[in-house]
A = this chain, B = another copy of it.
Amino acid sequence: MFDELDPLLHQQLRLAVMSLLISVQEAEFTFLREKTGATAGNLSVQITKLKDAGYIEVTKGYKDNFPQTVCKITSLGLTAFENYVNALEKYIKK
């Protein structure tokens, strides 16, 4: 009846990050922080979790001499997101 909701995605900030990465393909840490309004610390932790799960790919480089972290969704992440949305819809459809 009620499928499990992927606990990794069923969390506001991580879900917002995934949502953004789906629409923009690739995003910098600072972009994600601005769009989500999260603190850098919290965002850092949640990005690490998504990366550890293989849902996103994280590339660390430099831009204008400053460290730059770029995130990109993986196909595993995309599938997980789709599954999550499908499961969720059973909870919220009228």
- Hey, which bits of chain A sit against chain B, CB under 8 A? 1-2, 4-5, 10, 12, 15-16, 19, 22, 35-37, 84-85, 88, 90-92, 94
A90: chain B residues within 8 A (beta carbon): 19
Chain B: CB-nearest residue to A12: B5
Total copies of the chain: 2
- Please determine whether B10 and A12 come into contact, CB atoms closer than 8 angstroms: yes
CA distance A47 to B46 in the complex (A): 29
A2: chain B residues within 8 A (beta carbon): 12, 16, 19, 35-37
- Please determine whether B35 and A1 come into contact, CB atoms closer than 8 angstroms: yes
- Please determine whether A91 and B5 come into contact, CB atoms closer than 8 angstroms: no
CA distance A90 to B5 in the complex (A): 18
A35-B1, A37-B2 known; A91-B10 Cβ under 8 A: no
